Structure 1
Amino acid sequence: MSTSQDQKLSRGALIALVVGSMIGSGIFALPSAFGRSTGGLGALIAWTIAGTGMLMLALVFQTLSMRRPDLDTGIYAYAKAGFGNYLGFASAVGYWIGCCLADVACLVLIKATLGQFFPVFGDGSTAVAIVSASVILWGVHVLVLRGVKEATALNTIATVAKIVPIAVFLVVAAAGFKADIFAWNFWGGEERSLSSVASQVRNTMLVTVFVFVGIEGASVYSRHARKREDVGAATVLGFLGVLCLLILVTMFSYGVLLRPDLQALPTPAMAGVFASIVGPWGLVFISVGLLISILGNYLSWSLLAAEVLHSAAKNQTMPSFLARENANKVPSAALWLTNIVIQLFLLVTWFAEYAFTMALKMTSSMTLVPYLLVAAYGLKLAWTGKTYEQDGRSRTGDWVRGAIATLYAAGMLYAGGLKFLLLSAILYAPGTILYFLARREQKERIFTGPEMVVFGVLVLAAMAALWALVSGSITV
């Protein structure tokens, strides 16, 4: 991809990539997603944990962007530098598949939103919905092939446009906030005990991960930044802005409707909360805002997915054919493979009982492994003192931030449960075919001893997951 000045991205464009990637389908589903799992107290605890963990991860990204400016190919490069070729590849393929699943979640929610007005779309997984989602998929494909600069400019416009309905919702929800309703919702309508709240918090954690996915948007595009320092600043500023919006949307909703009513809201739940205050027109207003938001979010994920494959191929972590570009300097081969995989995932949603929820949680599960490896690499640098030879004063702080981010990512994997780890293995294991191809091209040994052990565990987990699916022990 061209690195000429006209293709360089400003700090504002990088922030828009972060915000555009993070604000999409998730924020509009928060009222019901949290209402099904927890009350106000559990929500506050969940956001405190998630906000702290993700802030530490954002700071790790910021630190790594400055300490390892040579690693300018994004999230997977840190895993490769810290833990070897195969885990670097696993980070790249896991993040790429997570991007594909995030795009699937966007497409399903677009059709589910339209389904409230046109029943033929149903919950977003009917035949008509899948066909129309496919039209959007390949329409965006054609748009991105025209040039990344044009696509990121459109993403910036969409990011600004999507903030407007969210801001209006917050103003109206604040005006309609009722203290007695919030007080009833505070404990979730359940027994007032720490064990009850702890259970509620755990049930929300994968949801919080999903709405933060995209925090690494600026890092993925770091080699296109006009100034290297803009990458870290864009990551932190984008994260803090989105965190404020997520907390306000969640907590204000608890002051508008009782938890049973929040649970029963159809997607997009924010529209139902808004309509309960202003009347039926609110459903249309938020739904239009949702469509704008998700289309922008979808575009962000398409860009990120193709960029990850392309940059990994340029760095010899993926097969070389994925480094091909078209006349507009767009990673066309990576984009084709990405959209083919998204199309296959769309077909699978036809058989999923809760297609959007499944795509949401699988996105979280797939991206947590790359996040864990990035955090662990930041921790490793601070622990060993590498790159701190001339600046030892910040080493302790970076170690603490890396440790917290690592514990957070590991804890989220545990909180997500065994089901999603097993389903993730089904995707990671066949994805290793790309690694075999890349290593054969380079005439290099495929696995080291420890990497063979990791791959063996992955294959066993994938086989166990397939058996569980066939036997009905787990379902999609």
Structure 2
Amino acid sequence: MMPRVASAETVSGTSSAQKLTFMTMTAMVVGSMVGAGVFSLPRRFAQETGVAGALIAWAIAGTGMLMLAFVFQTLAIRKPELDAGVYAYAKAGFGEYLGFFSAFGYWASACVGNVTYWVLIMSTVGALWSPLGDGDTWVAAALSTVGIWVFYLLIRRGVKEAAIINRIVTVAKLVPILVFILIAAIYLDPQVFADNFNGAGYGSLYDQVTGTMLVTVFVFLGVEGASVYSRHAERREDVGRATVLGLLSVLAVFASVTVVSYGILPIEEIAELRQPSMAGVLEAAVGQWGEVFVSVGLIVSVLGAYLAWTMMAAEVLFVAALDDDMPRFLRQSNAADVPTAALLMTTILIQIVLVVTLFSEDAFNFALDLTSALSLIPFLLAAGYALKLAVTRETYADAPEGHSRELVVGGLATIYTAFLLYAAGPKFILLSFIIYAPASVLFVMARREQGRRLFTPGELVILAVSVLGAVLGVIALATGWITI
């Protein structure tokens, strides 16, 4: 069947008659955030900090992400005409080119994040079958490739059915995580917990906390899930409420998984566990059945998250194409209302990044940190837009209520995301530029289709910065200054 161009009302299998309820959007937020990251938390935190640093890190991350959640809540109410969340806010606040970068960066971060899911699945099975290693062997890549394209065919058949699967998985995957927290709390050894409290030998507390920031960003990706599908909400105010409720629920889970793990094994042993480290922690507490229990839960969780994020990534490209910010070929959809061109482009990038991870020193951590770094620009621009609205008082003339609160929230969210960029360090910022810069080809294609000037003077400056950053990144890789 020849592909057709979808209307603005058809996206991801949801028509104007099929609206999303508050609980459905909350489940989308939770389902998008709870994926591979939570199962990797014990080792990632133990490699950087002890209990004290972990508590501070979660307090900072939780507060910062809560500010971002409030930002999405505010923008959903004050700018109800803006759809597709992160991308739309960046465009409205800072122009078409930065809006394009936000859409592309958000999409790319989703694709790279999906690679971590396959690496983690293969690492999990690799505990039983050595050819899979830590998910970074050619055999693992081959099996992952099969999975990637099977999911492509599943989603292409109809996202409505895929969304039903995702709702079921969202509930199912929470069970092993909650059971882990309960069992680890019961088996927690107070002396082991006390010995792990300060993270001795890990440097200053500041260094310990900053070392955890990228993983906290990764596990919170998806906080904007309801915002991405905001056009389909039964009530616009439910978008922000679902975001906040989903974030607070997931924060409690993430912090609990991290903290109780410190009471099971010495920090040095947790830091050496293979991923998923949650399985190793539970095995130490109750025996091998604990590892199997977590491993099965991980596979269910990760496959559900992969499904959700693939759908969300295709949605972003599709909506950007409808708004003429991406080339028109990305508007194509099939009879099942699936954005086929955007889905194919998403799957291809996932495949490419999977191959790249074969050459990295630590495939899982590399993909995880790059995912976080790519998402920071879109988050920073969304927070900056909320701050801009409060400073300029746009939309506040007719609805002045909450101005002071929203000014503070926008400022804190902007400071938090800027701090995350600093914590990411030059390595991942340069790697992000290598991915961002070539994307301008798509922007040029879209402008040419519309017969418009390719770049304004201001946009040329942004282009020059992105290209310079990409060149520096390539040089840094070639000279060994940074490695993957």
- Give the TM-score normalised by the residue count of structure 2: 0.96
Uncovered stretches (5+) of structure 2, i.e. residues with no partner: 1-9
Q: Partner of 1:457 in structure 2?
A: 465
Query: Contact 1:310–1:323 (CA<8 Å) still a contact in 2?
Result: yes
Alignment equivalent of 1:10, drawn from 21, 33, 36? 21
Aligned pairs for 1:24-35 within 5 A: 24-35=35-46
Q: Which residue of 2 aligns with 1:308?
A: 316
Equivalenced residue count is: 473
What secondary structure does 2:204 align onto?
helix
For residue 472 of structure 1, what is the aligned residue in structure 2?
480
Residue 258 of structure 2 aligns to a residue whose secondary structure is helix
| 1:124 alignment counterpart | 135
Q: 2: CA distance between counterparts of 1:147 and 1:390?
A: 42
Q: Is the contact between residue 230 and residue 239 of structure 2 (CA under 8 Å) also seen in structure 1? A: yes
Query: 2 CA distance for matches of 1:278 and 1:189?
Result: 27
Q: 1:373 aligns with which of 376, 381, 403?
A: 381
Quick one: which amino acid aligns to residue 376 of structure 1?
G
Residue number in structure 2 paired with 1:341: 349
Could you tell me which amino acid in structure 1 is paired with residue 458 of structure 2? P
Distance in 2 (alpha carbons) for counterparts of 1:362 and 1:296 = 21
Distance in 2 between residues matched to 1:453 and 1:242, nearest whole Å: 39
d(CA) in 1 for partners of 2:20, 2:397: 31
User: What's the offset of the Cα at 1:457?
Assistant: 1.0
- 2:149 is aligned with 1:141: no
Corresponding residue for residue 7 of structure 2: none
Give CA-to-partner distance per residue, 1:360-411, whole Å, 9 cap, x none.
0000000010000000000001111111112213111001000000000000
Task: Give the superposition deviation at 1:92.
Answer: 0.3
Correspondence 1:20-419 to 2 at 5 A: 20-190=31-201, 196-419=204-427
Deviation readout 1:164-216 (Å, 9 max, x if unpaired): 0011101101101122211111110238xxx7111111111111111101111
Shift of 1:28: 0.5
One-letter code aligned to 1:149: K
Q: Match for 1:103: what amino acid?
A: N
- Given that 2:122 and 2:134 are in contact with CA atoms closer than 8 Å, whether structure 1 keeps it comes out as yes
305-314 or 174-183: which moved more?
174-183
Question: How high is the TM-score relative to the length of structure 1?
Answer: 0.98
SS in 2 for 1:186: coil
Judge conservation of contact 1:134–1:343 (CA < 8 Å) in 2: yes
Q: CA deviation at 1:151?
A: 1.5
Work out the CA distance in 2 between the residues paired with 1:42 and 1:450: 42
Task: Give the partner amino acid of 2:469.
Answer: A
> Equivalent residue of 1:37, what SS?
coil
Percent identity between the two aligned chains: 53
Q: Structure 2 CA distance, aligned partners of 1:182 and 1:384?
A: 49
Aligned residue type for 1:12: M
Contact 2:134 2:274 in 1 (8 A): no
What displacement does 1:8 show?
2.6
Aligned-pair distance for 1:74?
2.1
Offset of residue 5 of structure 1: 4.9
SS at match of 1:417: helix
Which region of structure 1 is more displaced relative to structure 2, 410-419 or 6-15? 6-15
SS of the aligned residue for 1:65 comes to helix
Q: How far does the alpha carbon of each residue in 1:94-146 deviate from its partner, in whole angstroms, 9 at most, with x for none?
A: 00000000101111111111101111211112111111111111111111112
Hey, which bits of structure 1, 4+ residues long, moved more than 3 A? none
**Contact 1:17 1:152 (C-alpha < 8 Å) held by counterparts:** no
Could you tell me which amino acid in structure 1 is paired with residue 258 of structure 2? T
Query: Quick check: 1:102–1:359 contact (8 Å CA) kept in 2?
Result: yes
Amino acid at match of 2:250: V
